[in-house]
Amino acid sequence: MHKSSVLPYSRDRENDKGRDEVQVTVIGTGYVGLVTAIGLAENGHEVICVDLNAERMEQLTKGIPPITEQGIEEALQANAARMTFTTVYPESDLYLVAVGTPERADGSCDLTAVEAVVAQISRLNPEANVVLKSTVPPGTTERLQQSYPELRFAMVPEFLREGTALADNRAPSRLVIGTRDHMLAERLETLFLTTAPVVQVDPTTAELTKYAANSFLAVKISFINEIARLADAVGADVAEVAHGIGLDPRIGPAFLRAGAGYGGSCFPKDIAALTALAKTYETPLHVIEGADKTNEAQLDYVLQKIRPVKGQRIALLGLAFKPGTDDLRDAPALRLAERLEALGVHITGYDPAAKTLLDQKPTLDEAIAEADAAVIMTEWDEMKQLEPERLQRLMRTPRLIDGRNCWAYADRPHGVEYEGIGRYNQTFTNNQIR
């Protein structure tokens, strides 16, 4: 668990005149449910969290979070008086549904948990307000509304990033409220208490907004990764290209970091669900499907740069799908490990937070010891600051493939055989030190 320097959050109550404090039931205490529940408690509401996992509820009652997230322990403690954790559904007027919607084998979204929760809510209070926070395919909320005409539905997508989820929740870039019920929309605006722009739309538009946001970010990453491959081919520096195009306000600088591609719990799953849905409407999503293909191919590209030989020892530095988390869901490092293992390479791994079944070493030095190549797969500070001297001293051959273009020593003499992604100008070998 990371210790955080963030102080327990407390809203300036003097500035919150005229608000209603209400009781809300949040179903599901995963990432979305728990962070949303904490945010609501911070806004002064009484929050009842329900989850079928009894052990998790016991731990949460003691203030122990089930996920690694910056500042979450402190936030749980600071809001303990307004948060209850239980396995029993209370009768409530307002339910937020934040249960998982995993990927099925065909890529589509499994709505079993959402449907079971809504059925249970309607048994307890047939006229309750039901707010879906879970990511569900466009059309889901309207369909549920037809099945349960007495319930009042809204769909409010989340845009939280792991690692900064609490901060994102406190200062969202926008609040999208998808409902046909104007009273509920007004109530939700008060409930979430934000100064961010509110986008009030119908539920299907809200659902599609969530998928479109994640797909667009994935497209940006795959776009720059393709430009990176071309930069390697023609002898250009993709980081400078990204800088040069990102200064155009129509493009923007975010999500243009080339590297080993994206992973995580959202992008791959949401793209699979959206493309599966689009197929049922015979509306192909060429750009988004292309982003997914490029993302897969990017790992083959990293593999090419590694040039693995059977029997070699290769160190994967960083295993989590991004820094600041121990989350391994769809982590590019694990997908690369599979490819390397199939080639008969011995992999050693190191990550400051994530735990895997690989031959994972407790320190970075042990992971690179006697290795033929090291590959940075997650841009933790420890990888960025890895001194060339350590690579030279500990590795069999000091070779570093930088799958995140993050190594701090890349632009100075280092005596290491180094290669980034699309960074032609920073590709030096031992014999070509500037």
Binding residues for ligand UDX, per CB under 6 A?
158-162, 214, 217, 221, 255-257, 259, 262-267, 321-322
Minimum distance of ligand UDX from residue 408's CB (angstroms) = 18
Is residue 385 a contact partner of residue 376, using CB atoms and an 8 Å limit? no
CA distance 412 to 414: 6
Instruction: Name which of 267 and 380 has its Cβ closer to ligand UDX.
Output: 267
Which of 153/321 has CB closer to ligand UDX? 321
**In the complex, what is the shortest distance from the CB of residue 389 to ligand UDX, in angstroms, rounded to a whole number?**
28
Select 164 or 204, whichever has its Cβ closest to ligand UDX. 164
The rounded distance, in Å, linking the Cα atoms of 340 and 308 is 7
Respond yes or no: is residue 266 known to be catalytic.
yes
* Residue closer to ligand UDX (CB basis): 209 or 265: 265
Closest separation in Å from C-beta 185 to ligand UDX = 21
Side-chain-side CA neighbours of 290 within 13 Å: the count stands at: 12
Q: Rounded to the nearest whole angstrom, what is the least distance from the CB of residue 32 to ligand UDX in the complex?
A: 8
Report, in Å, the least distance between residue 270 CB and ligand UDX. 8
CA distance 87 to 119: 16
| Angstrom distance (rounded) from CA 366 to CA 368 | 6
Write down the catalytic residue from 49, 109, 266, 406.
266
- What is the strand order of the sheet 46-50 is part of? 83-86, 46-50, 23-27, 94-97, 129-132, 152-155, 175-178, 198-201
Residues 6+ apart with CB under 8 A from 310: 343, 344, 345
Write down the least CB distance from residue 401 to ligand UDX, Å: 15
Pick between residue 128 and residue 208 the one whose CB is nearest to ligand UDX.
Answer: 208
Q: Looking at beta carbons only, is 60 or 224 nearer to ligand UDX?
A: 224
Active-site positions read 266
